Amino acid sequence: MNQNPRRIVLLTVGGLVVALAGTFLLDPYRNYLLALVAAHLCAIAGLSLLIGRTGQLSLGHAALMAAGGYGYVAGVKLGDGAVPDGLQPVLGLIVAVVTASVVGLLLGLAGARLHGPYLAGLTLAVVLALPALTSQIPALGGDQGLMVPFRSVPQALSSLIALEQWQAWIALTVVAVVLGVLATVDAGASGIRMRAVRDDEVAAALAGIRPGRIKVQAFVLSAAAAGAGGGVLCFVDSGVRPGGYGVTLSLLLVVGVVVGGTGRLAGAAIGAALVVLLPWLIGLGTSGLDLPAEAAQRLDGNLAVLVFGLLLIGLTVAAPTGALGLLTRAGASRKRSAPSIPTTSKD
Amino acid sequence: MTAALEIRRLTAGYGAEPVLREVSLQVPDGQVVTLLGANGAGKTTLLRAVSGLLPTTGTVLLREQDLSDVPPEQRVRRGLAHVPEGRGVIAELTVEENLRLGGLWRHGRTALRERTDAEYQRFEPLARRRKALGHQLSGGERQMLALARALVAAPDVLLLDEPSLGLAPQVVHSIMQTLRDLCDSTGLTVLLAEQNAAGALSIADRGVVLHLGEVRSDGPAAQIAQDEALRHAYLGY
Amino acid sequence: MDRFVFLLATGIADGVVFALFALSLVLIWRSTRIINFAAAAMAVTACYLALAVTDLTGSYWAGLIIAVLVGGTLGWAVERGVMRAARDPLSGVILAIGTVMVLQALTGILAGPQSRPAPVPFGDRPVIVGGVPTLSPYDLFVIAVAVTLTAGLHTLFARTSLGLQMRAAAFAPEMSRLLGVPVARMRTLGWILAAAVGALAVLLAVPGELGLDPHAGDPLFVSAFAVAVIGGLDSAEGAVIGGLLVGVLVSLVTGYLGAAVAPLGVLALLALVLLVRPAGLFAGVEARRV
């Protein structure tokens, strides 16, 4: 937790450059997967910080990602004809973040007074109400969702890189910004206030911190990150459909958080990679088994969810600090380096 | 004289550092032994360890039965009763329900009724408040209820943690006197942890002084009450 | 007006099921201070087995008994195997989510994603009273089961020694152990009871609008959560009243505005209650925050 802002900037820019260079090693489909990982990482990192720092468990982050997706579409439409084509995705992403932040603000205000399980229940109700909302508001396109015009690689780069690689670049850039911002906030005074609120709200209030305000701030920050993720997903998939942002996605985001270790931004990357890649790997595995069509259809998706569920239970029981926590603990016991601070919540 | 409760080389604590270090003491049958010492001396920890609420090393013998592998809820059945710090009256239950809980495991329906009626006679103010909830009671009433609830089980050995805390002097005096009478009339054995050393020593047969988790002194109550150096150093009066 | 009466009657019948399911949440909250997010998935799993038994034997009642037995067994297994590892409310929710994922994935793999029809032991056509369609015989059966069960649970907790021990174990676990109450066993018992009640509630709900598929429990859980919050999580009476309230609300919203709007209505009601009276409408004592 002793990261100063300059170190954070260096780390994120350095990491981004390495990641961008790495895309040249991947084929188009794997670059597409990388973009998906980056999109999920935005949301998982935001959620991880929320759960880990203020102890607020949201099961509604899928809805916030959806808000980002719809925001992206709105932003692109807004910029149509008004800004150059190349800048439309940028505008889309900005509107995505703003939209999700506003929804997050409303949810955060409602949730600031609620303790753990109550907030989880309320946010779960929000995700379940999403299809109803999109079917009631014609502008959201019902079950079909909304599409945005397909964006090809900019002229200057088109000879150099494929579409998927370009998408991965955008996604990686967004996630670098998101992680940089989250890490900076976490390392600063706000991070300390958030931990104080999590550990003891009354004590924090006596120390002059306003717990309600801190919780709302944390929720908005987390929602903005999820919105960026939703925006990227919409950019990559050229559209947004409510069906993709259900309870299952919300639960997967929680899995990503727990796998990486609650409150650990670096761990969130492991969580995001697992959440995106495991279903793909399991799909590869089962398609190699030559199963009858119906059995394959039943296994598709469900097998991954089964593994995720077991993982969630196993990690919560055996390793509250997540996969990264296990690694650093092993490292620490070998080298006796600085102890890692456990970040499990007390409430 | 046999010991109703014997503690041998007991070590216990919450984290890495033990709060109690190799404590040994005996509580003779039918006597009141008071456990004295400043805050943090380990009095509460000792009682909790005897009840099995903490992981320990060492031996706890109740009437020569080893309790080491016996879980807390079973220790009660062997004849141990524990009135914890803060009395442990369950705030959401009525006086009647709290009292019945004390003897549920031991008695049939009629026997339990007789036992609770006996305690209502002993602690008359409780009888008038049978339907009151725990959180509606005064401090003195709570202490009475906690004591009555422990006695419903008809224990051999009663562990009592700071009964005088937060009570008016007259109430403290009457509770101490009740304890003494109980021991004399029923042969109850009591291990009494107290900060109010003078009050506790006035009714106790023996005293044990704890300091930083170790036994500093163990002897007849009168002898401890007269040892001025000991009183000044550890008992604060 | 006729339509209103019909919707009201349907709402009461639905509300009874909500109340019963909310009661299962209340039971677990009371015994462990955990909101069981896996309640619906557990109940749906039990119902799949119940319907399988009904298919095999041709008897609705055999299935009903199986639902209760399997539900109770699941409650035992989940409490002993998973929930015992919960260190705080947050990890309790996360463990429950893990359980949901495992159960939904397993039912999805074994039974497939399609919704499954469910048999009804009595007619489900509404009886016409004075020209107005009201409750069906099946609705009356559901109400009778719910009333009997609620009364039975009330007696258990208020009048028996076992109920007293369960309440004590929930309110003050450590003190209860010092008084000889086997607290761990009381918790497990609470889970068994709750899960059996939950399974029964879902089985009763399935022939209605719910239908049975691996995710059928999700909306029911949210409705029941709303019910439990409205009634106050500690209050069984509150769960019954809250259940009727939510049932009638959902029925009216569905009837007048369309089924798709119902989740929005539940969400709005839940948000309102959480903001105005987080301890529930019927909470007598301010809920302790542990």
Spell out the alpha helix ranges (H) of chain B. 43-51, 72-77, 95-103, 109-122, 124-127, 139-152, 169-186, 197-203, 221-226, 228-230
Percent of chain A with pLDDT over 90: 36
Answer yes or no: is pLDDT of B161 > 50: yes
Inter-chain touch B106–C182, beta carbons under 8 Å: no
C25 to chain A, closest Cα gap in Å: 12
Inter-chain touch C100–A309, beta carbons under 8 Å: yes
Q: Does C230 map to a domain?
A: yes
Contact residues, chain A, for C229 at CB < 8 Å: 118, 121
Is B82 near chain C, with CB under 8 Å? yes
Nearest Cα residue to A269 out of A2, A39, A23, A8: A39
DSSP H or E run through A42:
helix A28-49
Residue tagged 């009525």 (tokens)? B94
User: Residue C276 contacts by C-beta under 8 Å, 6 or more apart in sequence?
Assistant: none
What local confidence, expressed as pLDDT, does residue A288 receive?
Answer: 79
Q: Does C287 map to a domain?
A: no
Q: What are phi and psi of A297, to 5 degrees?
A: -65, -40
Inter-chain touch C175–B84, beta carbons under 8 Å: yes
Mean pLDDT of chain C: 86
pLDDT category of residue A219 using cuts at 50, 70 and 90? very high
Nearest to C263 among A57, A132, A258 (CB): A132
Q: Count residue pairs from A and C with Cβ separation < 8 A.
A: 155
pLDDT category of residue C206 using cuts at 50, 70 and 90? confident
Mean pLDDT of chain B: 89
pLDDT category of residue A61 using cuts at 50, 70 and 90? very high
Residue tagged 């009629």 (tokens)? B110
Inter-chain touch B104–C180, beta carbons under 8 Å: yes
Where is average pLDDT lowest: A147-151, A202-206, A329-333, B7-11?
A: A329-333
For chain B, how many helices (H) and strands (E)? 10, 10
Q: Write out the two tokens for C75.
A: 């409650």
CATH number at residue C50: 1.10.3470
Answer yes or no: is pLDDT of B237 > 80: no
Nearest CA in chain C to B49: C178
Nearest to C179 among B91, B92, B101 (CB): B101
CB-side neighbour CA atoms (13 Å) of C161: 16
Mutate which: C48, C78, C218, C267, vs A, most A CBs within 10 A: C267
Where is average pLDDT lowest: A41-55, A314-328, A330-344, C204-218?
A: A330-344
Answer yes or no: is pLDDT of C237 > 90: no
Our answer on whether A and B touch (3+ beta-carbon pairs < 8 Å) is no
Q: Is the dihedral of CA B130, B134, B135, B138 positive or negative?
A: positive
Is B147 near chain C, with CB under 8 Å? no
What local confidence, expressed as pLDDT, does residue A330 receive?
Answer: 59
Angle (CA) B55-B59-B63 rounded to 5° is 125
What local confidence, expressed as pLDDT, does residue A346 receive?
Answer: 35
Percent of chain B with pLDDT over 90: 43
C167 to chain B, closest Cα gap in Å: 8
Q: What is the pLDDT of residues A8-45, one digit of tens each?
A: 888 888 888 888 888 888 888 899 999 999 999 999 99
Answer yes or no: is pLDDT of B25 > 80: yes
What local confidence, expressed as pLDDT, does residue B84 receive?
Answer: 92
What local confidence, expressed as pLDDT, does residue A345 receive?
Answer: 37
Domain ranges within chain B, ordered by starting residue: 90-154
pLDDT average, residue stretch A219-228: 96
For the whole model, what pTM was predicted?
Answer: 0.85
Answer yes or no: is pLDDT of A341 > 70: no
Q: How far apart are CA C35 and CA C50, in angstroms?
A: 25
Contact residues, chain B, for C284 at CB < 8 Å: none
Answer yes or no: is pLDDT of B150 > 60: yes
Contact residues, chain B, for C171 at CB < 8 Å: 90-93
Mean pLDDT of chain A: 84
Contact C221, C25 (CB under 8 A): no
Q: What is the pLDDT of residues C51-71, one digit of tens each?
A: 999 989 988 899 999 999 999
A247 to chain C, closest Cα gap in Å: 8
Q: Does C100 map to a domain?
A: yes
Nearest to A298 among C90, C100, C112 (CB): C112
C95 to chain B, closest Cα gap in Å: 26
Tell me which chains share at least 3 CB pairs under 8 Å with chain B.
C
Inter-chain touch C95–A131, beta carbons under 8 Å: no
Nearest CA in chain C to B80: C178
Nearest to B101 among C168, C174, C285 (CB): C168
Answer yes or no: is pLDDT of C277 > 50: yes
Is A124 near chain C, with CB under 8 Å? yes
Q: Does C27 map to a domain?
A: yes
Sheet holding B189-193, edge to edge: B80-83, B157-161, B189-193, B32-36, B206-211, B214-220
Q: Is the dihedral of CA B136, B141, B147, B152 positive or negative?
A: negative
pLDDT average, residue stretch A232-256: 91
| CA C127 from centre of chain | 27
Inter-chain touch C164–B91, beta carbons under 8 Å: no
What local confidence, expressed as pLDDT, does residue A347 receive?
Answer: 35
What local confidence, expressed as pLDDT, does residue C61 receive?
Answer: 92
What local confidence, expressed as pLDDT, does residue C288 receive?
Answer: 38
Inter-chain touch C82–A133, beta carbons under 8 Å: no
Say which residue, B57 or C259, is predicted with more confidence.
B57
pLDDT category of residue C139 using cuts at 50, 70 and 90? confident
Count of other CB atoms within 10 angstroms of residue B210: 25
What local confidence, expressed as pLDDT, does residue C280 receive?
Answer: 67
Contact residues, chain C, for A128 at CB < 8 Å: 218-219, 222, 263, 267
Nearest to C91 among A124, A305, A316 (CB): A316
Inter-chain touch B101–C178, beta carbons under 8 Å: no
In chain C, the number of structural domains is: 1
Predicted ipTM of the assembly: 0.90
What local confidence, expressed as pLDDT, does residue C208 receive?
Answer: 67
Written as one string, the DSSP assignment of C98-145 is HHHHHHHHHHHHHH-SS-B----SS--SPPEETTEE---HHHHHHHHH
Contact residues, chain B, for C169 at CB < 8 Å: none
Q: Which of A 21-60 lie inside 8 A of C, CB atoms? A: 51, 55, 57, 59
Nearest CA in chain C to B47: C178
Of these ranges, A103-117, A313-327, C156-170, the one predicted with the greatest mean pLDDT is C156-170
Nearest to C171 among B73, B93, B102 (CB): B93
Inter-chain touch C161–B104, beta carbons under 8 Å: yes
Say which residue, C61 or A318, is predicted with more confidence.
C61
Nearest CA in chain C to A257: C94
Inter-chain touch B90–C172, beta carbons under 8 Å: yes
Domain that holds residue C266: 2-276
Nearest to B88 among C161, C167, C178 (CB): C178
- Residue C284 is classified by DSSP as S
pLDDT average, residue stretch A182-207: 85
Is B10 near chain C, with CB under 8 Å? no
In our burial notation (b when 16+ CB lie closer than 10 A, e otherwise), range A240-260 reads bbbebbbbbbbbbbbbbbbbb
What local confidence, expressed as pLDDT, does residue A323 receive?
Answer: 64
What local confidence, expressed as pLDDT, does residue A95 receive?
Answer: 94
Where is average pLDDT lowest: A154-168, A170-184, B167-181?
A: A154-168
Nearest Cα residue to C181 out of B157, B75, B130: B75
What local confidence, expressed as pLDDT, does residue A220 receive?
Answer: 95
Q: How far apart are CA C91 and CA C64, in angstroms?
A: 33
Q: Which of B 16-55 lie inside 8 A of C, CB atoms? A: 51, 53
Percent of chain A with pLDDT over 70: 91
Nearest to C109 among A117, A121, A303 (CB): A303
Contact residues, chain B, for C168 at CB < 8 Å: 90, 93, 97, 101
Domain ranges within chain A, ordered by starting residue: 5-244
What local confidence, expressed as pLDDT, does residue A335 receive?
Answer: 44
pLDDT category of residue B107 using cuts at 50, 70 and 90? low
Nearest to C178 among B51, B91, B135 (CB): B51
Contact residues, chain C, for A138 at CB < 8 Å: none
Is A243 near chain C, with CB under 8 Å? no
Written as one string, the DSSP assignment of A250-277 is HHHHHHHHHHH-TT-HHHHHHHHHHHHH
What local confidence, expressed as pLDDT, does residue A38 receive?
Answer: 94
pLDDT average, residue stretch B42-51: 92
